[in-house]
Amino acid sequence: MAALAGALMAGVAPWPALGQARQVPETREQVTLSFAPLVKRTAAAVVNVYGARVEKRPQNPFLDDPFFRRFFGDGGFGVPRERVQRSLGSGVVVDAAAGLVVTNNHVIENMSEVKVAFADKREVEATILLRDPRTDLAVLKLADAKNLTAIDLADTDELQVGDIVLAMGNPFGVGQTVTQGIVSALARTQIGVGDAQSFIQTDAAINPGNSGGALIDMKGRVVGINTAIYSRSGGSVGIGFAIPSAMVRLVVDSAKAGAKTVRRPWFGARLQSLTADVADGLGLDRPAGSVVASVVEKGPAELAGLRRSDVILSVDGVNVDDPESFGYRFATRPIGGTTALLVLRGGKRIELPVRLVAAPETRPRDTVKLTSRSPLAGLTVANMSPALAEELSIDTGNEGVVVSEIEEGSTAANVGFQKGDLIMALNGERMTNSREVEAILKDRRRAWEVTISRNGQTITSVFPG
């Protein structure tokens, strides 16, 4: 038994076919003493991703003062200094023929130059095909797609707590590294990465530089993309998180289709967590489910018959314990079909089929870049629509003018505006479209009273004109 226990720590034979019961190995023949064959099949598809951009540092602010200029002049100090910012992470080749690599969005965000390095020392330039901050995923297109090895994406629903997994990547930039662990938990939320949250937790060592690398099952398939760790020291403490392959497939398929943004099905309802008191009153054993707080008129949820105060218990037979779990399950369903929701209403459980459709552009965005002398200078604003709300991860029930982009270093960025802020009123005048905002800002004012809505809260601030 002692010898067998030692062998079990080293690894197990490949899992049986889907549908067969999984069993603990009982003989030496059923145990593999090395993961080397598995690593050899997959290592070539795990790459290093390097990003770089040139940052211009502003001139010394003292040189804006005529007093200091009298003594120092410009002296070359007025010319912005350049600094190269670099990033380092990992990636996975998921389509050899097309030369597609998946990595984390935070690895390549704002990078003007991206390179991919392979285990055989090749370096290939890459372009960013699609970024998705909501999932912290990005898809790269390699300039040279010759002699590539890809790894298939697994069905995350097959994954179970206790399954053995390998984490592959480039931690701390030391080179390709493989670590082994198990699936510690599934459907972890509130990790603070993106907003489409349902992470795989693993105790396989994941360290800085592993971001974007592969979490691989015993069949050599990608079950997740390593993205974050819980650590007070900055190194691995056995609590790492990976984005499930179902979400990876959604982003990759959108990139292959040539989409500029990831196409997700639109639900058209706002959900809240179910409290223990409410769950007890509904006769539920535990507070598992999502309460419908509101529905968008003529949205998919309303058309399916969903009502305020309904409790959503499952999606296509899979339990969803909270709004985050529901969001993940719903988002990974393909547009064009239907999905079945199990709903608790008035003490009875009913099933509602919801059509999976993309969020519509109910009115033109009419995007406007604000350049006037005002606290809003540097904002790009647009008319709200369900499609834009989905892109910005804000409540689809809102109406008005939304901040879609913020110029780095602009007045608006410095005063604290955020993407997704809804501009409600300027100097007490309600704003209903982007052109109204542009027009009112052309007036010179001594002060600007700005009212916005952010995360359901109304904020009013006064700025000098």
Output the six-digit token pair for 25.
């190995």
Report pLDDT digits (tens) over 383-392.
888 888 877 7
Same topology between domain 44-70+82-142 and domain 156-256: yes
48 annotated binding-site participant: no
Report pLDDT digits (tens) over 294-326.
898 889 999 999 999 899 999 999 888 888 888
pLDDT for the residue numbered 14:
47
Give catalytic status of residue 374 as yes or no. Answer: no
Query: Which candidate in 95, 132, 136, 310 is catalytic?
Result: 136
Q: How far is CA 47 from CA 122, 213, 222, in A?
A: 10, 8, 14
Lowest-confidence segment of 19-23, 151-155, 201-205 by average pLDDT: 19-23
pLDDT for the residue numbered 1:
37
pLDDT for the residue numbered 80:
52
Give the CB-side neighbour count of residue 20, counting CA atoms within 13 A: 7
**Whole-prediction pTM:** 0.72
Query: Hey, where are the domains in the chain?
Result: 44-70+82-142, 156-256, 269-355, 368-464
Give catalytic status of residue 90 as yes or no. Answer: no
| Interatomic CA distance for residues 74 and 68, integer angstroms | 9
Residue 354 predicted with pLDDT over 60: yes
Give catalytic status of residue 211 as yes or no. Answer: yes
Superfamily of domain 156-256: Trypsin-like serine proteases (2.40.10.10)
Lowest-confidence segment of 125-129, 197-201, 264-268, 353-357 by average pLDDT: 197-201
Q: How far is CA 324 from CA 130, 170, 193, 252, 352, in A?
A: 23, 30, 12, 21, 20
Residue 66 predicted with pLDDT over 80: no
Query: Which candidate in 87, 184, 198, 211 is catalytic?
Result: 211
433 annotated binding-site participant: no
Q: How far is CA 22 from CA 15, 39, 187, 260, in A?
A: 7, 22, 21, 41
Superfamily of domain 44-70+82-142: Trypsin-like serine proteases (2.40.10.10)
51-60, 286-295, 305-314: which has the highest mean pLDDT? Answer: 305-314
211 annotated binding-site participant: yes
Picking from 272, 317, 319, the residue whose alpha carbon sits closest to that of residue 295 is: 272
CATH topology of domain 269-355: Pdz3 Domain (2.30.42)
CATH code: domain 368-464 is 2.30.42.10
Query: Which candidate in 90, 95, 106, 421 is catalytic?
Result: 106
